[in-house]
Amino acid sequence: MKSEVETLNPTRVRLTVEVSFDELKPSLDAAYKKIGGQVSVPGFRKGKVPPQIIDQRFGRGAVLEEAVNTAIPQYYSEAVQSAEIQPLGQPQIDVTNFSDGDQLAFTAEVDVRPTIELPDYKGIEVTVDTAEVTDEDVEQQLEALRARFATFATVDRPAQEGDYLTVDLSGKTKDGELIEEAQATGLTYIVGSKTLVEGIDDAVTGMSAGEEKTFESKLVAGPLKDQEVDITVTVTAVKQRELPEVDDEFAQSASQFDTAEELRADTAQFVARNKKLAQGGQARDKVLEKLMELVEIPLPADFLHEEVKFRHNQILSQLQQAGLSLPAYLEHEGQTKEEFDEDVEKRASEAMRAQFLLDAVARAEDVQITQEEITRHLIERAQSVGMNPDQFAQQIVQAGQANMLVAEAVRGKALAVILTAAKVSDEAGNTVDLSELLVDGVGAEHDHDHDHEGHDHDHDHDHGDDGADEVAETPAAAGGAASISIPTIPGA
């Protein structure tokens, strides 16, 4: 076999491969054996049909086609190894010459990883928010804890904003026909939350238990989407939320502490740790963004196109699971389809650049990963998607993505190398030490495209590890224009 490589642009090459007919003999033999095992010829057992009989019955052309289809992937792989390139995605194959007894010649165009000239990534300087804990911060956390232990008392009065109502809804067309998908009973609704049909807040405000009212609304989904309909709401109960006082009794029931003073002190520590973690996440994002500004990273066009298409399909699938259409989502977000497409492509581009950059740093630093680090990364990934680690690991293996998981962990470690050497200070000019946070996973690299919700402040458990996942993922694209998510690239 002879092969040559031609660079078409910094991220795409063309391989030219020539294979003599003699070299194709193993593929021809395998083709005869495969076809012979699939066909029935009187007088011969399956798999024992002589080649000349196969040629007579099914034609030499069928054998040649099978042989070439088998041989091309093998010789393409050998050409890739010989050229020492790192292909991305599937190649575009074009057979330029082949006939019985003659050589096979084909070309393969494929996207490849760009060569990156790394700038000096040691000592990058960034400024992050201060981690000062205020009384307001502590009160907000305590308020959230109080809400978890709230009680709901039925009240005999008209509904007002903030009340919790139990309601039945029945939608009808203007002709009086019941709308099957607009019927519901026993719904809980918070007055003023605007989470049900348009106009319901005005309708239920002032209503008491046992009363019903009909109002006009516009459906946002279903076959009658955007049509004006009549909605009848019946209030069956009005309740108000009552929050417990932060006293010793509450501390004992809501946490492991005996006094409200101890609970407040622990809450202040929890807030401080969360703010420290937020500093780490902010530093990670800013350091990576600043480094990306210092280096030119060309992107492979076809591979980027596939990534953008994948992200589109992923968003559409998530919307479908939530019962939403893309037009309804765009209307809610105030985006046009063109703006949405541009945003998806921008995030995909930023993500891909960040991954190529971290891969280059990992190679420059000869980053090695241990089994313990891979296991930890797997657990973090499983937690981020709400799965049991064993189930997540099984899913990864079945999908053939084990190597991708390892690559993610390597990138996370490469990012930690950059962060360790960075100079991070807060707005007050104080040096921010990230060493402890890097152990907790600030440098970890994940492939997520959603806002990270974090964890509730649970006083029934020790806070030592709470919130560690808050900054465990490389910048999520959903966080805004400056955020970056990092996808997994096959073959990493």
pLDDT of residue 470: 25
Dist CA 356 CA 15 (whole Å): 23
Instruction: Kindly report, residue by residue over 315-328, the tens digit of the pLDDT.
Output: 999 888 887 888 88
Average pLDDT rounded to a whole number, residues 465-479: 27
Top-confidence range, 262-266, 334-338, 391-395 = 262-266
- The number of residues making up the chain comes to 492
Options 3.30.70.1050, 3.30.360.10, 3.10.110.10, 3.40.630.10; CATH for 2-112 is: 3.30.70.1050
> Among 168-177, 242-251, 398-407, 430-439, which is the least confidently predicted range?
430-439
**Phi, psi angle pair for 215, to nearest 5°:** -140, 160
Give domain 125-131+271-479's CATH superfamily.
Trigger factor, C-terminal domain (1.10.3120.10)
pLDDT of residue 488: 35
pLDDT band at 466; cut points 50, 70, 90: very low
Instruction: Kindly report, residue by residue over 87-102, the tens digit of the pLDDT.
Output: 998 999 999 999 888 9
Asked if 208 contacts 158 with a C-beta cutoff of 8 angstroms, the reply is yes
Which residues lie across from 104 on neighbouring strands? 19
* DSSP structural state of residue 431: B
Identify the H or E element spanning 12.
strand 12-19
pLDDT of residue 444: 52
Average pLDDT rounded to a whole number, residues 182-200: 91
Whole-number mean pLDDT of the chain? 85
pLDDT of residue 453: 30
DSSP secondary structure, 72-124, as one string: HHHHHHHHHHHHT--EEEEEEEEEEE--TTS-EEEEEEEEEPPP------SS-
CA atoms within 13 A on the CB side of 64: 13
Average pLDDT rounded to a whole number, residues 179-201: 90
| Domain boundaries, given as residue ranges, for the chain | 2-112, 125-131+271-479, 151-242
Fold that domain 151-242 belongs to in CATH: Chitinase A; domain 3 (3.10.50)
